[in-house]
Chain A
Amino acid sequence: MKKIGVFLIVLMLSFGAAASDPAIKFVQDLADEIIAKVLTNSESTDKRLKSFRQTFVSAVDLPGVGKFVLGTYWKKATPAEQQEFLKVFTDFTTKTWADRFGLYNGQQIVFSGSRNAGQNQLYVDSQIQNNPPSEVIWRLKRDADSYKIIDIIVEGVSMAMTYRNEYMAFLQTRGGRVGDLTRELAQKSAEFKFTTH
């Protein structure tokens, strides 16, 4: 457990690598932007969270991820429930990840290449240069002439898969009521406290 913690806690300075690969460049630019706007910025938490949200929401396909994480329950929800869930999921995920990125330690991130993942998707492989080095795979899908992130996989742990395991287990014990999950997430989101340093 501890190891995954360290992997997630340390993020990231983009560095070197083949910036000629457009997928790598996309992830690298995103990392640079997060560092500039959020991590090395001395504005208030609220302001930094706001600019992180802007970057995160435009780079990550949160509606797609949100649909994936509900698994079989997505189709069982009404359109209104789906929309409400996506709204709360976006808000809560943004906060959680802002907090994770905020636990930044200044390690460099080195990109080693990209691989095809089928279905108009690809992986960008990278390594955070902490000790031991940790592997971060960015799963992208092509979106018109740009990309969207659909998953971040840190040392084998997929963001999307972890949420899916968690939410499907939750819904299984609540008779599949997506509204219950949305309420639970909204409450956790309202109570969310950021890590202080």
Chain B
Amino acid sequence: MRRIGIAVLAVVFLAVAGCATRPADPDLARQFDEINDPWEPVNRGIFAFNGVLDAAVVKPLAVGYRFITPQFVRTGVSNFFENLRTPMYLANDLMQADGAKACDSLRRLLVNTTIGVGGLFDPASHWDIPKKDNDFGRTLAVWGVERGPYFVRPFFGASTIRDAAGWGVDLFLIPTDYLILDQPEIYWSKAALYNISEREQAIEFIENLQRSSTDMYVTVRSLYLQNRTKEIAAARGEKSAPGYAFEFDTDD
């Protein structure tokens, strides 16, 4: 009953907030189609909510975390989480039939779990098996699923319909999470520390963006979509090259 209520509420919310309208100008219309963000008004609302949460809670925690820990501890924490996620990368490498990448992920997992003391250290990188991530959103793309509209996830930020679905699947591909599933305090502490650790590494970059952007919503959307296009091209084994032309030399 409650679930139906939420679904009805969501539909009403979408209907009330309305959709973005396609501009008449051909240049703007092309950009509108490429970006594919029909739920922009709703997405902006969620983005604003995430921004408030970040400024009030997540960023202060990240800054505090940096203040109280030395760099080698933070590197260890980041390595540890990376190692826990490697089985998920491996699963996606395999589903994308990328043998070379799967081999690298497996070697990283074995080397870093053993010699790297449970993943706290990253000796694999020193032996020329650099980090490579992967996710089910990319797997879906390799399988031919279209990306669908841009979508800002509450709490977790920029995504698309396909990538958000993929992200949901990836949560089930991290085997160690099953060990702590019945201990919510540990599970959520782990999740919190992971997100704070990730946020800490982006402090300067996000500040630079905030100082330079006239509209963070548009900037983040642009960065996310361009970066994903590149990652998906790489997953398909294509050489990435920006697909737009600088036409201004011949225009006038």
Q: Which residues of A contact B (CB under 8 A)?
A: 1-6, 8-9, 64, 67-68, 71-72, 74-75, 92, 96, 99-100, 103, 115, 117-121, 123, 131-133, 135, 137, 139, 141, 150-151, 153, 155-158, 160-162, 165-170, 172, 181, 184-185, 188, 191-193, 195
Q: Please name all residues of chain A whose beta carbon is closer than 8 Å to the beta carbon of B157 when the two chains form the complex.
A: 1
Q: Please name all residues of chain A whose beta carbon is closer than 8 Å to the beta carbon of B227 when the two chains form the complex.
A: 3-4, 155-157
Complex formed: what's the CA distance from A135 to B241 in Å? 11
Closest Cβ–Cβ distance, residue B194 to chain A (whole Å): 11
Q: Does B158 contact A1, Cβ atoms closer than 8 Å? A: yes
In the complex, the 7 A-B pairs of residues with the closest C-beta atoms, listed nearest first: A156-B230, A5-B205, A72-B27, A165-B222, A132-B131, A96-B212, A5-B202
Q: Does A172 contact B28, Cβ atoms closer than 8 Å? A: yes
Q: Name which residue of chain B comes closest to A133, CB basis.
A: B130
Q: Does B246 contact A119, Cβ atoms closer than 8 Å? A: yes
Interface centre among A1, A103, A115 (most CB of B within 10 A): A1
Query: What is the interface of chain B mostly: helix, strand, loop, or mixed?
Result: helix
Q: How many residues of B contact A (CB 8 A)?
A: 53
Complex formed: what's the CA distance from A166 to B246 in Å? 17
Complex formed: what's the CA distance from A165 to B241 in Å? 18
Q: Please name all residues of chain B whose beta carbon is closer than 8 Å to the beta carbon of A5 when the two chains form the complex.
A: 201-202, 204-206
Q: Judge if B114 is at the interface, Cβ distance under 8 Å.
A: no
Q: Does A193 contact B222, Cβ atoms closer than 8 Å? A: no
Q: Judge if B45 is at the interface, Cβ distance under 8 Å.
A: no
Closest Cβ–Cβ distance, residue A188 to chain B (whole Å): 7
Closest Cβ–Cβ distance, residue A107 to chain B (whole Å): 12
Give 14 A-B pairs besides A4-B205, A75-B252 with Cβ atoms closer than 8 angstroms.
A2-B201, A6-B205, A8-B208, A64-B246, A72-B26, A131-B130, A150-B246, A156-B226, A156-B233, A157-B230, A162-B219, A167-B214, A184-B214, A188-B214
Complex formed: what's the CA distance from A181 to B229 in Å? 28
Closest Cβ–Cβ distance, residue B128 to chain A (whole Å): 11
